[in-house]
Amino acid sequence: MATHKLLLLPGDGIGPEVMREVEKIVGWFARNGVGFETEADLVGGAAYDAHGVSISEAAMARAQEADAVLFGAVGGPKWDGVPYAVRPEAGLLRLRKDLGLFANLRPAICYPALADASSLKREVVEGLDIMIVRELTGGVYFGEPKEIVTLEDGSQRAVDTQLYTTGEIERIARVAFDLAGKRRNKVSSAEKSNVMKTGVLWRQIVTRIHREEFPATQLEHVLADNCAMQLVRNPKQFDVIVTDNLFGDILSDIAAMLTGSLGMLPSASLGAVDPKTGSRKALYEPVHGSAPDIAGKGLANPIAMIGSFGMALRYSFGLIEAADMLDRAIANVLASGTRTRDIAAPGANAVGTQEIGDAIVKELSALS
Ligand code: NAD
Ligand code: IPM
Ligand code: MN
């Protein structure tokens, strides 16, 4: 039986709760012929409490060696006062940067059973299937200088730097065009070239990569603020949206609500393909955070986390049938009405986090 090395980093808040449900799914696949070798480590506030840093060097080394990392969520009010450099979120940013995970794929799919769960009208979201490709290791998240400076008069000035290079834009554009070619062949590139130099360069380079390498794909440029509005007005006009780190963060939370809940949106954070081995570094993380308001109550929707494991099956391990089966199992469980509170039908009883994991495992057995 082939084994795949998975590192589990559950993190904080609902992270460990949703990770436990993924472990059930991993266990089911292991019993059914797809072996995984799993180890776990601390990240975020949990790592800070244990080691005084948001990820230890040992955990970083394990992440470098894993075939794929599954990441829960980090952060929470408990760590609001800790120094910026060791905040829980810094552990996630370091993983992304040090593993070179520049391409974050955030698919927003409205499952048929959830067309009434969105805060938008059924006809706006029914059949929705879009992919946000978020640049993940550049832009204002990492640009230098990034600091708060105290001025002579005692007041302060804070600086973040939005910075992009040609190479960074080229590689994320290629990921977006490649993906579009396997979908409906349309790319919408979102930036603010009307006010930002990085937006001007972004538009120029995406235009050139399109002309030189992907002329058969439809390309449109859309200003990021308009893109946010269009996502709510008529999201089905989009196929692939490619955008920078910060806009991608915001646009993907908007897209999440089109699917019914932030608890539904998985993601894959991918590095460059190694030409020698054909493999790439990868981390799979739900789009949501540690949800302090519901943590510890068994209310969290684990589908974003379970769907992230599905993306690992697809993108890291090439187990397309297994990934399709997991997607079908999720769709069937949702159709049966077994849902957490965030997506429950009006008047219907909601179940807890663990019941969803159990129901998906049962459905996998029924499908196999
Ligand atoms: P959040 O995503 O944690 O929660 C926003 C809202 O969505 C909350 O009402 C929450 O209950 C709900 N929600 C989120 N996930 C859910 C799920 N699986 N099921 C049901 N409801 C869900 O965002 P926030 O409250 O702004 O941030 C809380 C903390 O999480 C902060 O410290 C933030 O930095 C961190 N965060 C971490 C990640 C990550 O680890 N990838 C992502 C986003 C935010
Ligand atoms: C996300 C999160 C992270 C981000 C935070 C926790 C660093 O919001 O993955 O969407 O801003 O990228
Ligand atoms: Mn976010």
Residue 75 has pLDDT above 90, yes or no: yes
Q: Residue 293 CA: which ligand 1 atom is closest? A: 11
Active site residue 141: yes
**Residue 268 zone, left/alpha/beta (φ > 0; ψ -120 to 50; rest):** beta
From ligand 3's centre to the CA of 289, what distance in Å?
7
Confidence bin at 1 (pLDDT 50/70/90):
low
Which of 111, 141, 284, 315 is catalytic? The answer is: 141
Q: Residues with beta carbon inside 6 Å of ligand 1?
A: 14, 73-76, 89, 92, 261-263, 285, 288-294, 300-301, 304, 342
Average pLDDT over residues 18-28: 98
Among 288, 339, 340, residue to substitute to test ligand 1 (most atoms within 8 Å of Cβ): 288
Average pLDDT over residues 248-252: 98
What is the percent of the chain with per-residue pLDDT over 70, rounded to a whole number? 99
Confidence bin at 3 (pLDDT 50/70/90):
confident
Active site residue 192: yes
Tokens, residue 266: 């998985």
pLDDT of residue 346: 86
Ligand number, closest to the Cα atom of 94: 2
Q: Rounded to an integer, what distance in angstroms lies between the CA atom of residue 19 and that of residue 213?
A: 40
Tokens, residue 44: 């975020």
CA atoms 187, 110, 74, 280: torsion sign: negative
Q: Are 259 and 301 in contact (CB under 8 A)?
A: no
Residue 127 has pLDDT above 60, yes or no: yes
- In this prediction the ipTM stands at 0.99
Active site residue 67: no
Average pLDDT over residues 78-92: 97
- Chain segment 98-117, per-residue pLDDT in tens: 999 999 999 999 999 999 99
CA atoms 287, 288, 290, 295: torsion sign: negative
- Chain segment 150-204, per-residue pLDDT in tens: 999 999 999 999 999 999 999 999 999 999 999 999 999 999 999 999 999 999 9
Q: Which has the minimum average pLDDT: 89-93, 159-163, 295-299, 347-351?
A: 347-351
- Chain segment 316-336, per-residue pLDDT in tens: 999 999 999 999 999 999 999
Residue with tokens 């059930």: 24
153 secondary structure, DSSP code: T
Integer CA distances (angstroms), 272 to 226, 255, 287, 313, in order: 30, 26, 21, 18
Residue 2 has pLDDT above 70, yes or no: no
pLDDT mean across residues, the chain: 97
- Ligand 2 contact, 253 CB (< 6 A): no
Domains of the chain: 1-102+271-368 (3.40.718.10), 111-129+139-243+250-260 (3.40.718.10)
Average pLDDT over residues 13-17: 98
Q: Rounded to an integer, what distance in angstroms lies between the CA atom of residue 243 and that of residue 92?
A: 20
Average pLDDT over residues 295-306: 98
Ligand number, closest to the Cα atom of 291: 1
pLDDT of residue 140: 98
